[in-house]
């Protein structure tokens, strides 16, 4: 009984199936030590005095308990970065916004997620890399935590950051030399080394979320020396070279398209001031060049060219996602074109 007021309080839980008296208490507050599904429902209370007078029943308050609180991870402004760019990973808890701290995890290309040592930087739901480096390339996820008993959310969805370095020691050479390919084409990927490192392996992270070495499956490739040969392309993903000592090349996003039209665009970043040539290719006739419209970030750049668009002098503003479209044959996927600035070239 509350000695200051003379009231004793009763609490009621109203579920879909029944109403029950949850407790009586000498205080006007009630605590649930460890919530569970059974605690979901509407709660009301009423007070009683020593002489038996009852208050009105209070308004109902709804408590919802979820077994699997969902954490959702997103990236701003984008996943494809040039060394030195800023990027923020954003972790949000679905249906709940307060009281959470977050832990952050990264797969460093060895198929094992490790908690980041500076994970506390994500206490507000954001984890920011103010100057991205090549070694920040990897697959990230997060998890929320709150309460004295450390209630955790499920692990979030994954997001992958790909950071293009200024002067990598190795380059991934692709033949045919383009980022988009038709299904069932043959493809060669070679690691061209500038530092005499050994044990280079071609790896990929597929769109379906699998990390694989070239020779890990006979169904997608075979590696001889530093060259991976794919007889029949069928899976899109990000490809890179990985050495025994942990060095990596710049990643290349390879898109395998089931349709009849693809975009021919540079595999590696284009230097600011250079020219940029794009072509729209048709699957048949090895492949032929199509008259087409060209788009950047979804907006029309050039209409019905001879199948080729040339930007004589590129600048950083030309960086973005490009595609082409033929009125009858169809539309290509989008490919990211990175522009390397003069300051980056001189570093």
- Domain with residue 309: its CATH number is 2.60.40.10
Tokens for 320? 């973005």
- Element at 238 (helix H, strand E): strand 237-242
Is position 79 within any domain? Answer: yes
Same-domain check for residues 174 and 203: yes
Is position 285 within any domain? Answer: yes
Is position 1 within any domain? Answer: no
Q: How many residues does the chain have?
A: 347
Give the span between the Cα atoms of 189 and 11, in whole angstroms. Answer: 69
Rounded mean pLDDT, 212-224: 79
* 17 confidence band (pLDDT: 50, 70, 90): very low
Same-domain check for residues 28 and 77: no
* 347 confidence band (pLDDT: 50, 70, 90): very low
**Three-class SS of residue 5?**
coil
DSSP H helix total and E strand total for the chain: 1, 32
Most confident of 4-18, 141-155, 174-188, 210-224: 174-188
Q: Are 207 and 201 in contact (CB under 8 A)?
A: no
* 122 confidence band (pLDDT: 50, 70, 90): low
Provide the residue range defining the domain that includes 347: 259-347
Rounded mean pLDDT, 244-268: 89
Same-domain check for residues 84 and 118: yes
Same-domain check for residues 195 and 216: yes
Give the span between the Cα atoms of 227 and 189, in whole angstroms. Answer: 6
Same-domain check for residues 86 and 148: yes
Last residue of a domain, one of 113, 134, 164: 164
| Residue 205 pLDDT exceeds 90 | no
Give the span between the Cα atoms of 129 and 333, in whole angstroms. Answer: 29
Last residue of a domain, one of 164, 195, 220: 164
Same-domain check for residues 76 and 23: no
Same-domain check for residues 56 and 81: no
Q: Domain count for the chain, please give it.
A: 4
**Whether the model pTM is above 0.75:** no
């Amino acid at each position: 009984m509350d000695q200051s007021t003379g009231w004793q309080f009763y609490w009621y839980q109203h579920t879909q199936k029944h109403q029950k008296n949850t407790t009586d208490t000498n205080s006007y507050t009630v605590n649930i030590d460890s919530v569970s599904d059974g605690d979901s429902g509407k709660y009301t209370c009423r007070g009683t005095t020593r002489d038996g007078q009852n208050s009105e029943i209070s308004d109902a308050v709804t408590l919802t308990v979820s077994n699997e609180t969902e954490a959702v991870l997103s990236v701003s402004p984008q996943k494809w970065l040039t060394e030195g760019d800023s990027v923020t990973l954003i972790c949000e808890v679905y249906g709940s916004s307060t009281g959470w701290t977050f832990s952050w995890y990264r797969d460093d290309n060895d198929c094992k997620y490790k908690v980041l040592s500076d994970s506390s930087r994500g206490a507000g739901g954001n984890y920011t890399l103010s100057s991205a480096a090549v070694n920040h390339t990897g697959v990230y996820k997060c998890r929320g935590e709150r309460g004295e008993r450390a209630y955790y959310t499920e692990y979030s969805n994954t997001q992958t950051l790909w950071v293009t370095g200024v002067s990598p020691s190795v380059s991934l050479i692709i033949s045919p030399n383009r980022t988009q390919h038709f299904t069932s084409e043959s493809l060669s990927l070679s690691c061209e080394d500038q530092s005499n490192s050994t044990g280079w392996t071609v790896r990929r992270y597929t769109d379906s979320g699998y990390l694989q070495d070239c020779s890990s499956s006979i169904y997608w490739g075979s590696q001889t020396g530093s060259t991976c040969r794919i007889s029949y392309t069928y899976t899109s993903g990000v490809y890179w070279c990985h050495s025994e000592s942990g060095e990596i090349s710049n990643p290349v996003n390879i898109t395998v398209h089931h349709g009849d039209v693809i975009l021919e665009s540079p595999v590696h970043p284009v230097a600011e001031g250079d020219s940029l040539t794009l072509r729209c290719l048709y699957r048949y006739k090895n492949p032929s060049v199509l008259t087409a419209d060209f788009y950047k970030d979804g907006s029309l750049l050039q209409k019905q060219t001879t199948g080729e668009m040339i930007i004589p002098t590129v600048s950083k503003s030309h960086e973005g996602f490009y595609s082409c479209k033929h009125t009858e044959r169809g539309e290509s996927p989008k490919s990211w074109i990175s522009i390397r600035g003069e300051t980056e070239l001189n570093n």
